[in-house]
Structure 1
Amino acid sequence: MKVIALVGPSGTGKSHRALLVAHEHGAEVIIDDGLLIKGHQIVAGVSAKKQATAIGAIKTALFTDPDHAQGVKEELKVLKPRCVLILGTSKDMVNKIAARLELPLPELYLDIEDIASPSEITKAKKIRQHFGKHVIPAPSVAVKPKLSGVLTDPLYVRFSKRQKTGSKSQLWVNQTVVRPTFNYFGRFYIDNAALEQIIKGAAQLSSDVVKVQNIVLEEVPQGTIVNMDLTVRYGKPFPPLLDAVQERVKQVLEHMTALHVVQVNIYVRKLVLPEDMKKTYAHA
C-alpha cells in the first residue's frame, strides 16, 4: 500500500484541494479530520468538525481514541486501497496518523504551497479566520448524517489541469462547507416547541391535513426521527398525500434547523368527511 500526504497549516485549503490531489496521484481513499473518505462516501470515522472544543477536534483528527482508530483500520482492511492520501498540518501529524492506523509512512509529502498559489492560500486563510468555515471533501448527502445539527452547504468546484500536450482538462468535485461546533462564537439551541411548530407548519401546507398532533422527536446516532399523528380530509388516495407530507416536513425541518432527518413517521388517527358525505350518512 502506498501512502502520500498533503501538509499545510490550518485554513490554507488542504481539504478543498484533497480530491484534486487524490485524483492526480491515484489515491483511492482520503483520511481527513478523523474521517475515511472513498469517492463520494464517508465510509468510516468520526468528524473532528463535530467536536465541542478545538482540543477535542485535534484529538479526533489524530485518532487518539482506540475505538475510532480501530473502526477506520478495519474498513481499510476491507477496502484494500492501493494508495491512501492523508491530510495534516505537519509531517509529524501525518506520521502520527499513519502510525495509529498501522499504515506505512508516506512516500511523498506534498506541501499546500506546491499546489496552491499564494493568493489562493491567503484567500482560504481569510475565509477561515473571518467566517470559521471548513471544507469536507465529500458531498453534503454523505456529510449530513455524520454532522446532524451542524450547518452545512454544498460546494461545487471546477479545477483546471494542464495536460502534457498543452491542453486543459476539467475536474468537477462535490464538497461540503461546514461551520464546526468548536468554531461558533456561541451556541444555539432550538426548543422542541419551536421544532414542533416548524413540523406543523410544513405538514399543514397541504390543505388535506386538518390537524397535526402528538409530535415526538427521537435522537439517534444518524440524526433525528420525527413521529406525528395526523387528522386528514377523506377523499384523496393516502400514499401520494402522505409521501408528499413526509418529504415536505423533512425538507423544511432540515433547511431551517440543520438537523439531519432520518425518518418521518406519520400515523393517520382520524378522517374528516366532506360536508356532502356527512349529510349522506346522516340521512342513511
Structure 2
Amino acid sequence: MEVYALVGPSGTGKSYRAVMLAARLGCEIIIDDGLVIKGNKIIAGMSAKKQPTRIGAIKAALFTEPEHRKTAVDAIAGQAPKKILILGTSKGMTNKITEGLGLPGIKEYINIDQIASAKEIRKARIMRTQHSKHVIPAPIVEVKKSFPESIIHPLQVFMRRHGQKDRRSWSEQSVVRPTFTLYGKFSISQGALVAIVNYAALAVPGVVAVKHTHIIRDDQDVTIELSVVVSINYKLDHISKELQKVVKLQLENMTGLTVNFVNVTIVDIQAEEIC
C-alpha cells in the first residue's frame, strides 16, 4: 500500500482538490476530516465538521476515539487499497493519522500550493473565513446521512482518471456549514497552553519546579521548550524522557493539537533538605 498526503493550512481548498488529486495519483481511498471515502461513498468514520467544538473536530480528524479509529481501520483493511490519500494541515498531522490507523509511512507529501494557485487559495480562504463554507469530497446523498441540516449546496468537480487520458468525468462534492461554526469562534490562548504544559510537567515525579515554558505554534503543530529544576534523587535521562512523554500526551489529549517536539533543559538540581 502506498500512502500520499495533501498538506496545507485550514481553509486553503484541500478537500475541494482531493478528488482531482486522488484521481491523478490513482488513490482509491481518501481520508479527510475523520471520514474514509471511496469513490462516491463514505465507507467509515464520523465527520470532524459535525463536532460541536473545534477541539472535538480536531480529535475526530485524528481518529483519537478508539471506536472511531477501529471502524476506519476495519474499513480500510476490507477494501485493501493499493493507494490512499490523506489530508491534513501539516506533515505532523498526516503522520499522526497514518500511525493511528496503522498505515505504512507516507511516500510523498504534496503541498496545496503545488496544485492550487495563490489566487485559488485566497478565494478558498475567503469562503472559509467569511462564509464558514467547508467542502466534503463526497456526494450530497452520502453526506446527508450525517449533515441533514447543514448542507448548503452540491459542487461539481471535473477530473481525469489515473491512467485514462481520454476518459474524463464529473464528481459531486458537498458544501456544508460545520456544526462548530454555529457556536461562534473558539481559540486556545498561549497562556492556557503554557498552563497545561506546566501542570503536566509538575505531575512528573522528580520535577521540583518549572522555570520557563516557551511554546512555538504553527497552525495545529506545536513545539515546546521546557526548562525545569529536578530532584537529585532521580536519573536525569529518565526524568527527561518521562517529561517529554507526559507533556506531549497531556497537551494532545486536552487540545487536539499535534506536538512535534518537547525539548527539555534541566537548569538546576535540587537536593532534599535534611531535617
Give the alignment's TM-score, normalised by structure 1: 0.61
Match of 2:51 in 1: 51
Structure 2 counterpart of 1:178: 176
Cα deviation per residue 1:151-187 (whole Å; 9 max; x = unaligned)?
A: 34211123589x9xxx99754221000000111256x
Which residue of 2 is the match for residue 125 of structure 1?
125
| Contact 1:51–1:181 (Cα < 8 Å) also in 2 | yes
Structure 1 gaps, min length 5: 187-284
The answer to whether residue 106 in structure 2 is matched with residue 106 in structure 1 is yes
Distance 1:16 1:99 in 2: 25
CA gap 1:159/1:118 in 2 versus in 1, 3 angstroms: farther
2:30 match: secondary structure: strand
* Higher Rg: 1
TM-fit CA distance, 1:149:
2.8
Q: Is the 8 A contact 1:144 1:152 kept in 2?
A: no
Deviations 1:244-276 (A, max 9, x none): xxxxxxxxxxxxxxxxxxxxxxxxxxxxxxxxx
- 1:33-182 equivalence runs, <5 A: 33-159=33-159, 170-182=168-180
Whether contact under 8 Å (1:140, 1:152) holds in the other structure is: no
1:22 is aligned to 22
Contact map agreement 2:23 2:159 (CA 8 A) in 1: no
How far apart, CA to CA, are the structure 2 residues paired with 1:169 and 1:122? 31
Please give the per-residue CA displacement for 1:211-242, whole angstroms capped at 9, x wherever unaligned.
xxxxxxxxxxxxxxxxxxxxxxxxxxxxxxxx
SS at match of 2:64: coil
1:128-147: per-residue Cα shift (whole Å, max 9, x none)? 01000000000000110122
Instruction: Name the counterpart of 2:12.
Output: 12
Paired residue type of 2:19 = L
- Residues 169 and 126 of structure 1: CA distance in aligned 2, closer, same or farther (over 3 Å): farther
Structure 2 gap segments, 5+ residues each: 185-275
Aligned-pair Cα RMSD in Å: 2.0
Distance 1:42 1:160, change over 3 A: closer
Whole-angstrom CA distance in 2 between matches of 1:39 and 1:169: 16
Q: Which amino acid in the other structure matches residue 63 of structure 2?
A: F
- Equivalent AA in structure 1 for residue 172 of structure 2: N
State the secondary structure of the residue aligned to 2:153.
strand
Aligned length: 183
| 1:246 counterpart residue number | none
Between the two proteins, what is the percent identity of the paired residues?
52
Tell me, in whole angstroms, the C-alpha distance in 1 between the residues paired with 2:178 and 2:145.
Answer: 14
Report matched runs for 1:150-229 at 5 Å.
150-159=150-159, 170-185=168-183
* Cα distance between partner residues in 1 of 2:158 and 2:60: 30
Q: Secondary structure of the residue that 2:10 maps to in structure 1?
A: coil
TM-score with structure 2 length normalisation? 0.63
CA contact (8 A) 2:22 2:28 kept: yes
- In structure 1, C-alpha distance between the alignment counterparts of 2:8 and 2:179, rounded to whole Å: 22
